[in-house]
Structure 1
Amino acid sequence: MLLLATSILGACSSDVTTTHNQTIRVATFNVSMDASNYAQKGQPLDPEALKARLALGNHPQITNIAEIIQRVRPDVILLNEFDYIENLNDGIRAFIENYLLRPIQGQKPIHYPYFYVAPVNTGEPSPLDIDGDGAASGTGGDAWGYGNYPGQYGMVVLSRYPIQMSEVRSFKHFLWHKMPNAQKIQNPDGTAFYDEATWQRLRLSSKSHWDLPIDVDGKRFHLLAAHPTPPVFDGDEDRNGARNYDEIRLWADYLSEARGEYLVDDNGKQGGLAADSRFVIVGDYNASPDEGDSRAGAIEQLLAHPLVNAKPIPTSRGGKLHTPDNPNGAKHTAGWRIQADYVLPSKFGIDLIANGVFWPAADSKLHRLVRGRGASSDHRLVWADLKLN
């Protein structure tokens, strides 16, 4: 879905490395803009919670999110956990017009003429007993992707550059069993957790996987956006660990046209990414090479992929000081002490100029923006400056 406008992006804020000439800044940010961040303790979630706060134009948490974006000023950004709102005027347009286009704390407004938003699997009712509790409840653990209402934990992409909408590919409906050698989901006694009828209908993507071709002054790259499920909140069968691993694997296979031959997108197009394609993988992947609960080698499928440039690793002083006794602290991208969020460009056609994590330390005047999930999010914005060759 597309919004056309003529606004010009302002200069980069001085608190983040200035974008080099002829480069673009690409970012990912899990913004925690779902109803659970707005609910009163003990009260049910309101699926309209984000819509109501976007209309206000002055909600503190959303204002802080917008200020962070204005300070970092990415040219292209994926927002994870931005609830899906079908009416664009109530959803992403309201965020742009009521927050991003309003100067916050002396920052220049920032406008994105183009965006992409689409339904996701989270909270979409299924007829299956996906969580294995003996009842098919439709939502929660039995939704196609865990969620308490349709569209919870959705995704949005904002861009200064045109998104080639006719060539967008999504894999929301891709069936898990269609992936060769999919991760096994077994009970402790070695039996299959799912019966065959259920397994044949399960979708792989917990939200969706999007390939958005973006044109930057005649040079194209593919933004590969996703948000795999956390590898926890399950039982001994580790079904979420298996799903997290294979959601990450989907992109690892997709990077090769031949290796991804089994993949069929939501429009029926088969195969992976064409050879010699520029791409940037973005998102909250809920997996770290160093710590956490993901299956061994999960994120390494991307970090060690021969077509992916995963070095240098983005870091922050704030992350380092947040966990001073942990040698991995500087690499963390989440307040719960893990590297979970990634901006990974292709080796082909892209030079990685600089990258980082927006995490002001406790002694910074900007620490107010990242004090906790209520202030903005339990994740930090990760950015990379990229030159397209």
Structure 2
Amino acid sequence: MSEDDPQVETVARTIAAARPDIIALQGIDYDHDLTALRALGRRVAHHGYDMPHALALRPNSGMATGLDLDGDGRLGRARDAQGYGEFAGQGGMAVLSRFPILTDDVRDLSGYLWRDMPGAQLQLMDGSPLLSPGVAAVQRLSTVAHWDVPIQVGDTTLRLLTFHASPPVFDGAEDRNGRRNHDEIVFWLHYLDGLLGEAPVKRFVLAGDANLDPVDGEGRRAAIRRLLADDRLADPKPMRDSAEAKVGAHKGDPHLDTVDWPAPDPGSLRVSYVLPSIDLRAVDSGMTRGEAEASRHRLVWVDLLVK
């Protein structure tokens, strides 16, 4: 990523205009020295808004498995990686913050094997396994990543739980991607239940791209409905301006749609979420459209009162 790239410039302008205290970025390529992320940070600062603290860990996207996961008889291709990627780190995640990130206490949950998740949807309708034993022994749950990131906000530690789930499409009748998307979302419920060690009970925010709408589009929508209904989480329901809401054949409220894909399918959907724990008071929420060159996804924001 070059600082002279027009897309970088539009993303930086969008972030600077929104002035977030903390932002969970999706779809940003990872490099070991965080050169790309720091270049973006410098462009944001150039537009008058400084977010000096940055975090990016190696994502599963593009991480080689050495196996023929898609069964095409060839190794080392994008669909043979832990998560789809033409190269290691393609389409990763990152966090920028005005407040210090407690990097020594970050929990990277991305190495968790899919088969180890309670209730994993790995059994097909005929009772046969979705994954062969060899694949199941190495296949991680996270398409991109699952992170628990503590951030020091004044005298308070805020936990940012962020992830980017697989699109529940681009597969066959076995619905491999739909099953994985479901389990990547439900993973957070198990995490909050304490099944993977000590879990946050207050002052946390779940924010990321679930790639799933609770009402419209493809996918196993029960997963996101369960998350939205969990009594440990609040849904401020950030909305776009009425003039920008694209009313169509979908059943859901178009004001909640966070992304505009080309019609007719999938069209506009709600796939990005910011869900604070119930002890945090949401003062305001909404979406920033930004410039079209930055992303078809909107910047979803929630103003929180953290004590």
State the TM-score bracket (shorter-chain normalisation): over 0.9
Q: How does 1:56-205 map to 2 (within 5 A)?
A: 56=4, 59-88=5-34, 90-97=35-42, 99-103=43-47, 109-133=48-72, 135-186=73-124, 189-205=126-142
Partners of 2:100 and 2:16 in 1: CA distance: 20
Partners of 1:345 and 1:225 in 2: CA distance: 12
Q: How does 1:284-323 map to 2 (within 5 A)?
A: 284-310=209-235, 312-317=236-241, 320-323=244-247
Q: Partner amino acid for 1:345?
A: P
Partners of 2:287 and 2:149 in 1: CA distance: 23
- Are positions 1:386 and 2:304 aligned together? yes
Q: Partner amino acid for 1:229?
A: S
Q: Which has the higher contact order (CA 8 A, sep 6+)?
A: 1
Q: Does the C-alpha gap of structure 1 residues 185 and 292 become closer, same or farther in structure 2, counting only changes over 3 Å?
A: farther
Pick aligned residue for 1:331 from 243, 251, 256? 256
Alignment deviations for residues 63-104 of structure 1 (CA, whole Å, 9 cap, x no partner) = 11111111111000011000002223x31111112x11223x
After superposition, the CA RMSD in angstroms is 1.8
Q: Does the C-alpha gap of structure 1 residues 338 and 322 become closer, same or farther in structure 2, counting only changes over 3 Å?
A: same
**Post-superposition, which runs of at least 4 consecutive aligned residues in structure 1 deviate over 6 A?**
none
Extract unaligned runs of 5+ from structure 1.
Answer: 1-49, 104-108, 264-270, 360-365
Q: How does 1:191-340 map to 2 (within 5 A)?
A: 191-257=128-194, 260=195, 263=196, 271-274=197-200, 276-310=201-235, 312-317=236-241, 320-323=244-247, 326=250, 328-336=253-261, 337-340=268-271
Alignment deviations for residues 7-66 of structure 1 (CA, whole Å, 9 cap, x no partner) = xxxxxxxxxxxxxxxxxxxxxxxxxxxxxxxxxxxxxxxxxxx2xx23x2xx32221111
Partners of 2:278 and 2:100 in 1: CA distance: 23
Q: How many residues align?
A: 300
Shift of 1:388: 1.2
Q: State the percentage of identical aligned residues.
A: 38
8 Å contact from structure 1 (residues 185, 242) kept in 2: no
Partners of 1:62 and 1:232 in 2: CA distance: 28
TM-score, length-scaled by structure 1: 0.73
Shift of 1:291: 0.7
Partners of 1:319 and 1:285 in 2: CA distance: 25
Q: Match of 2:151, SS?
A: strand
Partners of 2:243 and 2:211 in 1: CA distance: 17
Q: Partner amino acid for 1:342?
A: Y
Q: Partner amino acid for 2:110?
A: K
Extract unaligned runs of 5+ from structure 2.
Answer: 262-267
Q: Does the C-alpha gap of structure 1 residues 235 and 325 become closer, same or farther in structure 2, counting only changes over 3 Å?
A: closer
Shift of 1:249: 1.2
